[in-house]
Chain A
C-alpha cells in the first residue's frame, strides 16, 4: 500500500511515522528481515535539545503494583494486562490519545480532513476540529468546496464511531464567533447524536505551540483571499498570486478567560468545555484559571507543536518547550477527585514521549502532524496502524514500570539528567507513591 505522498513534515520523524502507518505494531521493531545482519543501538548518546526526548523512563526493580496485579489475576501479569482506557476531558477513549486540532490549514482540508475524521471515529479517538473551518470551508454539506465543511467532518466521524467512546471537540475562534459555530452545532439535528450521548465538546483556543501569541495563519490563493478579506487580515506576501491570511490571536486576561469558560458552560450545558493554550510563560496560571472556571480539559500545546503554517522565527525562537510546561504545571494542586484534566501535544507520535508526558502529569496526548501523515500514508488504515503501534508501546512501557493503568504513572518513572545532576533522584525509591 503506498500513500498519496502529498504531505511532508521536515524536522519531524516523518519516515518513522510513515513506516508505522504501513506496518502497524510491527514497526515498534526494526524490519524483521534485517535481524541477524544488522547491529542496532541508539543513534546518539547526547541528549537533544528537546527536554522530553532527553528524559528516560526508569522502571524500578521492586514493583508493589505488579504484586497487586499478580494477586488480582492469580498469574504473572504481562503487558497485555495494561488497560489503556482513559477519560479525556469528559470523553471516553480506548487509550490516552486524541487527535488534536487541524483547522482550516490546507494540509488538513478536503479528503484528508474527511479521511482523518473517519479513521479517528472508527478508533473511538476524541478528535478536535480546528478554528476557522466554518468561515473558510463552510458549515453545511456541499458548502465547503475543497476544504470540507464542518458538518461533513462531523458526519464522517459519527458514521464510523463505535458506541460509548470518542467524541468531537469543535474550536471557535474570534472570527468563528461571528459565524456562531457553537450555536449552529448545538441546535443542529446533525450533531444531536453526539450531543445526546455526551460526546460533543467545544474548545476555546487561546493559541497554539507553533506560533505562540499569534492567531491562525493560512496561505490562500487570491480568489479565496478576496472572499475572506472582510473577516480576516490578508497580506499579499508571497509570489505567484498567494496571500497570507491571519486570524486575530484574541485578547485574554484571567478574567476574560474565566468568564468565557463560564459563559460556555452557561450557554452549552450539555457540551464539554475544553481550553487550548499556547506554551506561554504564565501557562500554570492559565491552567489554574481554566480548571477553576470549570473547564473539562485544558490542552497545552508545547513549542514543538506543529501542523499549521507558522513563521520560521516562531518555530525557532518562541514559546516554552513542552517539558518545561509540564515542569511548571507539576506544582499545581491536583483536584482530590482524580487528576488535573491536562492534555498535551507537540511532536507526539510514539509511546515514549506519550508515556513521559503521562508520567509528568498529563492525562492524554494529542496527535497532530503524526495523524495527518498517517492518513496521508494510507487514507483507510494509516491512523489505525499508527495508533496500534503506539498502544502496543504504551502497554510495554507501562507494564515495564510495574503499572497497569496510564493514570498509575508518576514523576518517579522519569529520569532527567538535569534533575539528577541537581541532586534530585526521581526513580530511586521504587513505586513510593
Chain B
C-alpha cells in the first residue's frame, strides 16, 4: 500500500521516485544495539551455491521471480538442512554445466556439505517455488518443486536419497510458470494434498520487450494473461488427482506469487492465501471438505487499506499480537508498503500497516521473502523482509532505488507496533544483494531462529542469530498418527504463565519457500511451559502439560507426554 489510487486510477504519488542509503560494514558493530543481531556467516558455512536466473539479456519475465528455498531436516538427524532452488538457461543462454538445485546437509557447527548428487535432488528445471511435506506418510520429508516447465515431486527414500516420482504421482502440472506451492490436507482425510500456484501465461513467443526511459526493462506482468492455480487431491496411494475445477480453485485466474495455508477462521480446516502480483489477492476459504470459495474481497484481504491492489510477492502468517488469531503479512512492489492484515476474528481482516509501523522502510523497495519470527525470544513475532529490485538496471532510470539493496528487520515492540531496527541488527542486515526467498529455522539448535536468504544471481546469505538474549524458548515438532505425519495444518497453543502463544504447522510459505516445520516459541523470562494444546487437522485435541523450556520436543498425536528430541 502507499497512496490511494496511485496505480489504478493514475492519482500519482508525485513526479519522481526514490533512493537508498547504504552503510559501511565497518560501522556495523558500533551500531549493534537493537537486541536482535543477525550475523552474516555465509563464508564460514562452506556453502558455494550461486543462483542463476538463466538470463542472457533478453529479459524474459520469469527471470525476475526466481527463486525460493527450503529449510527442512531431510535426513532426520536433528539438524535443519538447506535446499536452494536454481534457475536454468533460458532460450538464447549458453552455459557449460547446467545449473541445478542444491541440497546442503547441515553437519552442525555452521558447516554444510553439498549432498545434491548423492541425494538425487539436483533438478535442472527452472526453479521457482518449493514445498516440503510427507505426502506418503512414511515418516520422511518429500519435496515438491514448482518450476517454469514441468514440476517435480521427489519422494524421500528415508536413506538420504530421493526418487523423482512426478510421473507416477501425476503432479507435473503441465508446462506452467510456477510460483509458491503448499502441501495441505484439504479434506481432513489424513494425507497431504497439494496446492500449486501459477504465475502467468508465458512462452517464448509471447515474450514482450519493453523499455523505460530508453533502457530495456522486464515487462510488467500485466502484459501476460493471468492463469488459475492447480489443486491436486492425494489419492492415498502415491498418486494425485487434479481437482482444480471441482474444488472451485480453478475458476479464478490470477498472477499467483507467494502462498501460505492456514486456518484463518478457526473452523478447523485449512484455508489458502494467494498473493497475486498486480491484482487482488485471493483467499480460498475451505468448507472442510476440500471445496473452496474465494472470499478475499469480503474478508478484506484482497486489497490494501485504500482498496488498491498490490504487486504482492510473498505471504506469511503468524499471530503477531498474541490474540490467538492468524494474521497475514504480504510483501509487494516498489512504491507500495508491505501490508499487515490483522485478523479481527469474525472472518474479517484489517490492514493495520499504518497504525502498527509494519510497512516501515519498505516503500522504496521491491520486497519478497518475509516471515513472522520471534528473533529475540521475547514472546512476540518480529518481521523480516527480503528486498531487491527486479530490474537489474533500475538505477539508470530511477536513482531512488537500486537493484542491490539491504533487507529489512522490523522488531515487534510488544504493544502491537513495529520499529525498523535494520541499521542496528548486525552485519547480516547490511548485505546488499537482490534477495528473493527467505527462510527461517534454528540451524544450530541453540534456541534462536536463524535465517537463509536466496539472492538472485548471487550467493545466498546465511544469517546466524547472535542476539544477546538469554530468554527462554521451546521448539515443537509434531508427529501425526492418524492425521498427516508432520502435523501440517495442526494448531499449537502454548501457555507459559501469563503468556499464550499460537502457531500452525505450514508447508510452503513466504516467497515461494518452505521452512519452520519445527514450531518455535519465544517465552521471555518464563522457564516453564504450563500447557501445550495441539488441535490436529480433523479436530482431535491433545494436551501436554508441564513441559520444561529451552528444549526441542516432539508431540505425538494421541499422546500426553512431550518427548525431548
Q: Do A and B bind each other?
A: no
